[in-house]
Amino acid sequence: MTYDVKTHGEFRYIDEGEGQPLMVLHGLFGALSNFDGVIEGFRHNCRIIIPVMPIYDMPMREASLDGLRSFIERFVEFKQLKDIILLGNSLGGHVGLLYTLAHLDNVKSLILTGSSGLFENTMGGSFPKRGNYEYIKERVAYTFYEPETATKELLDEVFEITSSIPKCMNIVQIAKSAQRHNMAKDITAINVPTCLIWGLNDTITPPHVGHEFNRLIPNSELHFIDKCCHAPMMERPERFNEIMGKFLNTILKTSVIPEEV
């Protein structure tokens, strides 16, 4: 699907639907298209806002988790979002955790899928191999249970990103910032209802990471999706939306029935 990507100052974002604000945060190599299923499934029940995080373009001195959290704080203020349901995948989940801890009064609930913050096995720990399409293809496919989920469009996008030295430097710096920032001691303070949706075959944040999040976040529930890796909302959108819909029913105390995707 093609959505209207709005631009205002430093912000580029999708804003679809009306009602309860649902802000979505993408991962390190995430694209807005990763959440087509979520947008199609829930835009009739929620106002879905997806900011493009400036992972590749922010100044190197700001390229860190704190820099991304600060960006999200500015975006929330710009959009005047209140009582947010926050959905984060991978690095986006990590940034979402930081925002939640700093603004517990403005987060209604939290949905994490394949989130970093405790442990992750990523490509970002070393400099990505520039100019090697087969390497990029192998690494991107590694994040999916079914490698063919990695479309040529996605591979081309990641290849273009990793062909740029400045973008690669930001990727490495942010990935290392995420690896250093273990949140085990912090997330016990998160008291908002939290839904953890994990791929049972996740190679990046394996199932034990989901269990650990569930153990440490007091008001959390954990769901696994079989034959699914690091991006459940892409690989198993119907099952992902089913789990998310049931969770939203309890949070919003209304009947949230996701549209078919």
pLDDT, tens digit, for every residue of 146-155? 988 888 888 8
pLDDT at 184 (0 to 100): 96
239-256 pLDDT, tens digit each: 999 999 999 999 987 666
Instruction: Write down the pLDDT at residue 131.
Output: 65
- pLDDT tens for 77-116 read 999 999 999 999 999 999 999 999 999 999 999 999 999 9
**Three state DSSP letters for the chain:** CCCCEEEECCEEEEEECCCEEEEEECCCCCCHHHHHHHHHHHCCCEEEEEECCCCCCCCHHHCCHHHHHHHHHHHHHHHCCCCEEEEEECHHHHHHHHHHHHCHHHEEEEEEECCCCCCCCCHHHCCCCCCCHHHHHHHHHCCCCCHHHCCHHHHHHHHHHHCCHHHHHHHHHHHHHHHHCCCCCCHHHCCCCEEEEEECCCCCCCHHHHHHHHHHCCCEEEEEECCCCCCHHHHCHHHHHHHHHHHHHHHHCCCCCCCCC
Question: What pLDDT, on the 0 to 100 scale, is given for residue 233?
Answer: 96
Taking the model in full, what pTM does it have? 0.91
Domains of the chain (ranges; CATH) run 5-119+181-252 (3.40.50.1820)
pLDDT at 166: 86
